[in-house]
Structure 1
Amino acid sequence: MTDLGETTLEIDLGALAHNYAYLKKRLHKDTLFLAVVKAFAYGSDMVSVATKLQELGVDYFAVAYVKEGVLLRDAGITVPILVLHPQPKNFGELIDRCLEPSVYATRVLDAFIAAATQKKQADYPVHVKFNTGLNRLGFKADAIPGIAEKIRAQKAIKVKSLLSHLAASDDRDQTEFTQGQITKFREIITRMSSALGYLPICHLLNTSGVLHYPEAQFTMVRSGIGLYGFGNDANIDQMLRPVARLSTVISQIHHIAKGESVGYNHGHIAQNPMITATLPIGHADGIGRQYGRGRAAVVINGKQAPIVGNVCMDMIMVDVTHINCEEGDSVVIFGAEQSAEQFAHAADTISYEILTAISQRVSRRIIQ
Structure 2
Amino acid sequence: MPKAKETVLEIDLGALTHNFNYLKSKLRPQTRFLAVVKAFAYGSDSVEIAKHLQKLNVDYFAVAYTKEGVALRDAGITTPILVLHPQPTNFKLIIERCLEPSIYNAKVLNEFIKVAEQEKQSNYPVHIKFNTGLNRLGFWGNDVDYVVSKLKHTTSITVKSLFSHLAASEDANEIDFTQRQIENFKGIAKAFKTKIDYQPWLHICNTSGVLNYPDAHFDMVRCGIGLYGFGNSEKEDKNLKPIANLKSVISQIHKIEKDETVGYNRAYKAKGFEKTATIPIGHADGITRIYGNGRGYVIINGKKAPIVGNVCMDMIMVNITDIDCKEGDEVIIFDTDHKASHFAQYANTISYEILTAVSQRVKRLFINSI
Assess if the C-alpha contact under 8 Å between 2:168 and 2:178 holds in 1.
Answer: yes
1:52 partner SS: helix
Once the 2 structures are TM-superposed, how far is the Cα of residue 272 of structure 1 from its aligned partner?
A: 2.0
Which residue of structure 2 lines up, in the alignment, with residue 290 of structure 1? 290
**Residue pair 1:279, 1:315 contacting (<8 A) in 2 also:** yes
- 1:185 Cα offset (Å): 0.4
Q: Does the aligned pair in 2 maintain the 1:310–1:316 contact within 8 Å?
A: yes
Q: Which residue of 1 aligns with 2:157?
A: 157
Q: Tell me, what secondary structure is at the counterpart of 2:26? A: coil
2:45 aligned with 1:45: yes
Aligned twin of 2:172: 172
**Are residues 180 and 266 of structure 1, via their aligned partners in 2, closer, same or farther at CA, if it must alter by over 3 Å?**
same
Corresponding residue for residue 210 of structure 2 = 210
Matched, 1:254 2:246: no
- The structural deviation recorded for 1:198 is 2.1
CA distance in 2, matches of 1:365, 1:267: 34
| 1:1-368 alignment, distance < 5 Å | 5-367=5-367, 368=369
Shift of 1:36: 0.2
2:219 corresponds to which letter in structure 1? T
TM-score, L = length of structure 1? 0.98
Q: Distance in 2 between matches of 1:59 and 1:291?
A: 39
**How far apart, in 2, do the equivalents of 1:2 and 1:182 lie?**
46
Change (3 A) 1:220 1:3: closer
Residues 2, 328 of structure 1: 8 Å contact kept? no
Residue type of the partner of 1:169? S
- Whole-angstrom distance in 2 between the partners of 1:122 and 1:335: 48
Q: Which segment is superposed worse, 178-187 or 267-276? A: 267-276
Q: CA deviation at 1:231?
A: 0.2
Amino acid at match of 1:321: T
Report the RMSD for the aligned CA atoms in angstroms.
Answer: 1.1
Q: Post-superposition shift, 1:196?
A: 2.1
Deviations 1:139-172 (A, max 9, x none): 1111111111001110100100000000000100
Q: Give the conservation status (yes or no) of the 8 Å contact 1:340–1:355.
A: yes
Deviation per CA, 1:89-110, whole angstroms, max 9, x where unpaired? 0111110000000010110011
Contact 1:256–1:275 (Cα < 8 Å) also in 2: yes
How far apart in 2 are the matches of 1:171 and 1:292? 30
Do the aligned partners of 1:10 and 1:364 also contact (CA within 8 Å) in 2?
yes
1:53 Cα offset (Å): 0.5
Q: Secondary structure at the match of 2:276?
A: strand
SS in 2 for 1:41: helix
How far apart, in 1, do the equivalents of 2:280 and 2:166 lie? 39
Contact 1:8 1:247 in 2 (8 A): yes
- Looking at structure 2, the residues matched to 216 and 340 of structure 1 have their Cα atoms a distance apart, in angstroms, of 29
CA distance in 1, matches of 2:232, 2:346: 16
Q: Secondary structure at the match of 1:72?
A: helix
Tell me if structure 2 keeps the 8 A contact 1:10–1:365: yes
1:336 to partner: Cα distance: 2.0
Q: Decide whether the 8 Å contact of 2:27 with 2:217 is kept in 1.
A: yes
Gaps of 5+ in 2: none
Spell out, residue by residue over 1:303-346, the C-alpha distance to the aligned partner (whole angstroms, 9 max, x if none). Answer: 11111011100000011111100100000000023000011112
- The runs of 5 or more residues in structure 1 that have no matched partner are none
What is the deviation of 1:3? 5.1
Aligned length: 368
Is residue 285–residue 358 contact of structure 1 (8 Å, CA) maintained in 2? yes
Q: 2 CA distance for matches of 1:180 and 1:61? A: 27
Once the 2 structures are TM-superposed, how far is the Cα of residue 2 of structure 1 from its aligned partner?
Answer: 9.9
Matched residues in 1 for 2:348 and 2:362: separation? 24
Q: What percent identity do the matched residue pairs reach?
A: 61
Rounded to whole Å, the distance in 1 between the matches of 2:278 and 2:341 is 23
> Secondary structure of the residue that 2:194 maps to in structure 1?
helix
SS of equivalent residue, structure 1 residue 253:
strand
CA shift for structure 1 position 4: 6.8
CA distance in 1, matches of 2:4, 2:78: 39
What is the rounded CA distance, in whole Å, between the counterparts of 1:198 and 1:295 in structure 2?
Answer: 56
For the Cα contact (< 8 Å) 2:133–2:166, is it kept in 1? yes
Query: Normalized against structure 2, the TM-score is what?
Result: 0.98
